Every structure is written in structure tokens, then in C-alpha cells.
Amino acid sequence: MTKPPAPGTFSPADGRSLEPVASTPVTELEALVERARDAQIRWAKRTLAERVEALERVVARMLDRADEILAILGEETGKSRTDALLNELSGLGPYLPVAAAEARAALKPVKVKLSPLDYPGKKIVTEAVPRGVVGIIAPWNYALGNFYKPIFPALLAGNAVILKPSEYTPRTGAWVAAQFEAELPAGLVSVAQGGGDVGAALIEVVDALTFTGSVPTGRKVAVRAAERFIPCSVELGGKDAAIVLADCNLDRTVAGVAQWGLHNCGQNCAAIERVYVEGVIADEFVRRLGAVADALHVSPDGPHADIGPLQSHAQLAIVERHVADALKKGATLVAGGERTGSGLGYRPTVLDHCTPEMLVMTEETFGPVIAVQRVAEPEEAVALANASPYGLNGSVWTTNIDRGTELARRLDVGVAYVNNHSFGGALANVPWTGVKETGTGVAASRWSYHTFTRPRTLFVDTNKNPDPWWFPMNEELAQMGELLLERARGSKAALLKLPPLLGKRVKAIQKLARGD
């Protein structure tokens, strides 16, 4: 067997060679961080409105250069222009204003309410302080779109950023960094190219980290970040389930399940990989789903190919192993199940009569494969859906919205849907998150700001007198303690006895401080 080409050196659409992109020597990361720190200090002094304005220029620049990035995405991932445009670029324009509104909410200082009796003259405000330099380690599957969720909040919060794109899609990462570099202060955004060694080295030098990728890598990353005590948001793999109830709108459900099972060639962390369908509609559901899969075009099959190829030989090998395992264990091939085209294309695949022993029902396939298991009733479907180590998205398809909502709430996932799936990832004001091995990360929305900012409690005391509970201990302080206990038990009278004691306490403290 010939050795597959090195990551990032060929186009998965047709296998043609691409000029390699040089890795960043790990010894240069310190220098990138130093430049980033210098720029960050000044960036953090800008108002949020000024930061938004600068980022608006970046977004405008990116949209003006749409042709450049769509060509790069086509070359590196094999996606068609329309696919890349719709699923990676077109969401960018509306993203920033919504992300900016979330930033205003997340970054707003909070004045803490204090009782003037217990805390005389004191003011406390909690402020969100940028972490400093944020590392963003990204996967290849949405080589452009995956950057939006971390990069906008990180910069809006006043941080500098170092991007580490996947070694499979280095040109997209370089292009993104170049657009930010062109409009923002030098060094504020930069790119570190390379594979796992560069990613691992980046963890050593940044102040905070977002990681999007596989579970095994995410676990290593989270451990090292924990050892360094730096905040780290990990967004990992999935094995999403869709539950299709007998009362669903079959036309819409078939189209929706096909969409979110096969979109991006199934290389979507929140792809529908498992379907649990009620037995009474299973034959018709599977027949129609198979027909949709058969009708889809795989890039480069025509100018409007529905899906692109798999990204890598390794990914293709996983898909083929999972399909073979399912067929060996008794699944029925309804559609697909074979390679197509001159690159890494694989036909949209539907497998029926799947069971929990099959890899397609347990491990992340990350390919254009929808595995269907027939169930007797919804409770069985919920139990099966939840019997997974992953927990990213999950959906229930039904015309009974109340029942669907109740079942959706019972799915062990970060994003639960009724009659849709995989939708929330494009929204800047919605937390994109998971449970279990999908990781603890929260991407997008004000909920993600824990990674990008730390809280600072600023306490200002304008009281001219010393606090009455300071040294020395004396009889008045003992009485104060007893009165405070009475007050805690609900006595209002105790409050009235406090003022004369307070005066005596202040005098005693001042006497001690004067050294009398």
C-alpha cells in the first residue's frame, strides 16, 4: 500500500499535490507570544466600541476577499464554492454584531450591592479582565467557520490571539490570520502552523486556550492546561442521535435528517450519526432516506455537488472500517457504501437494522454515513440515545411539540432540538457546548467568557473610620458579637443597641493605632 501524502499537501477533491506550508518552529512561539503581549496591552486599553469598529473592518475585508478564501477552501477541503459560501463564509457578516452584543453583556462591570450598616463606606465592583494571550487550536472540518466562535469573543474581551490551524488546512488558517493582521495592531493576531507538536508547544506559552478537535487530543490538551492552571475550553467529538417519532412530518424529517447527517460529508461534530426511528414508520422512513442519499451528488460530480469528499485517507479508512463492521454484524445497506470520484469522495450512505454492538452506533464515524436503528417506542430511543460516551447535539422529530420538547430535555447533550439539528453552531449568542466526552467547553455567547476573561473584584473603602471589628478585642466587641448573633436570629431590637457600641469601638481602635 502506498503511503498517504503528508497532511495539507494534496487536494482531497482530486488528489492533486499542493505546495507544503512550512511549520512554525516551536522555538519561535515565545517570540510570537511576546509580540502578542505588547499588542494586547494597548488593545485592552481601547474601549469595546473601538474594538468592535476595528473588527468590523476585518470582517469587511474578509467579505471583500470572498473569492480568495472560497478558492482556498475548495483546494484544501474539496468543498464546492456554494457549500463553502453557505456553510463557512456567509454567516460571518451577521456574526460580529451579535457577538458584540454578547461582549457588552459579558464585559459590563457589576456594582455589588452592600449593606451600609455592615459595610460602611465600601464599594465593590467586579470587572472582566482579559486573560492576555489566547491560543486557539482548531480542527480542519470547518477550516474557516470554526475560528469565529473563539476569535471574536477573545478579541472583543481585549486579548491577543495565536491561531493554530489544523495541519490539513494551513492555508485557510494563514488567510484568516492575514486578514486580522492587516487591520489590527501588529502582533495582536498571529498564526502558528504545524501539527500536534506545535499545538502542544503552544499550550506551554499562552494564558488561555480554546481547543476544538478529537476526544483523545482534547484530553491531553485539557490535562496539560490544568497542570499549567490556565483556563481551557475543549469542544470535542460527538455521536449525535436523532429520534424520529411515528407522528413526525415525514417529508420534512427525511430531508432534515439527510441534511444534518450528510452535510459537510458528515464531517461535522454535530452530524446526525445515529437515528432511532419508531418501528411503525421505519420502512417508509428508511426507503425515503435512502432515496435522498442516492440522489445527492458528491464533489466534483457537477457544479452543484451536495457534498465534498472526505478530508484525509485516515478519515476514509475510518468510514470504510465502520461500514464494513456494520454490514458484518447484520446491518442492511440502503444506499452508498462505496468510494466515488478521483479524490476521497464517498457516496452518501444509509444503513438500516443497526444495533448497539456496531461501531457506527458507538464510535464517531465523521463521514457521510447515517445508521438507523428501529425502536418500539420513544422511551427506548431516549435510553439508546443517552447510552453514548458523547453528548453534543441531539434531536427529536415529531409534530407533537410539547412531547418533543419534553423528550429533547431528557437527552444528555449540550444542544437539544425539536425538528432540527446542528443549527446552533452558527449563532454568536447561543452557547455551543456538550457533556461527557464531548468535553466541558462552552463556545460562543456570553457563557464562553470564562475562558477569555477572569473576574477582578475591586474593593474601594471610603470610610474615614476604622472598621469596628478590627483589633483590639474588648468587652464592646464581645457585646457586638452577641448583638449580631441576635440580629441573625431575627431580633430587630438588637440593631438599635449597636450604634453606641460602634462609637466606642472606633475610639478603642484609634487609641491602639496611635500607640497610646
331: how many CB neighbours lie within 10 A of its CB?
23
Distance of closest approach, residue 348 Cβ to ligand NAD, in angstroms: 19
Look at the block and give the residue holding cell 506559552: 205
Instruction: Give dist(CA 235, CA 4) in Å, integer.
Output: 28
Tell me whether residue 100 or residue 236 sits nearer to ligand NAD (CB atom). 236
Cβ-count burial of 12 within 10 angstroms (0-12 exposed, 13-18 middle, 19+ buried)?
Answer: buried
Least Cβ distance, residue 60 to ligand NAD (angstroms): 26
Closest separation in Å from C-beta 164 to ligand NAD: 6
CA 329 to each of CA 36, 320, 347, 357, 385: distance values in angstroms, whole numbers, following the listed order: 54, 14, 21, 8, 20
Residue nearest to ligand NAD (CB): 199
- Whether residue 325 contacts residue 305, with contact meaning beta carbons closer than 8 Å, is answered with no
Q: Cell digits for 372?
A: 438507523
Relative to beta strand 232-235, strand 240-244 is unpaired
Indicate if 235 belongs to the active site.
yes
* Dihedral (Cα; 511, 514, 515, 516), 10-degree rounding: -50
Residue 187 backbone zone (phi > 0: left; psi -120 to 50: alpha; other: beta): left
* C-beta closer to ligand NAD: residue 236 or 334: 236
Q: Which residues bind ligand NAD (CB under 6 A)?
A: 137-141, 146, 164, 166-167, 195-196, 199-200, 212-214, 217, 220-221, 235-238, 269, 364, 366, 392, 432, 434, 438
Minimum separation from the CB atom of position 152 to ligand NAD (A): 15
Closer to ligand NAD by CB, 128 or 428: give it.
428
- Per the listing, cell 440515545 goes with 385
Please say which residue, 76 or 352, places its beta carbon nearer to ligand NAD.
76
- Please give the grid coordinates belonging to residue 373: 436503528
Catalytic residue among 75, 235, 278, 437: 235
- Least Å distance, CB 13 to ligand NAD, is 18
Return d(Cα 281, Cα 270) in angstroms, integer.
25
Q: Which is nearer to ligand NAD, 299 or 433 (CB)?
A: 433
* Nearer CB in complex with ligand NAD: 313/497: 313
Closest CA relative to residue 139, chosen from 48, 214, 38, 77: 214
For residues 314 and 306, give the distance between their C-alpha atoms in angstroms, rounded to a whole number.
22
Residue 380: CB minimum distance to ligand NAD, A: 26
Task: Enter the C-alpha cell of residue 467.
Answer: 472598621
Active site residue 380: no
From 232, 248, 265, 269, active-site residue? 269
Active-site residue numbers? 235, 269
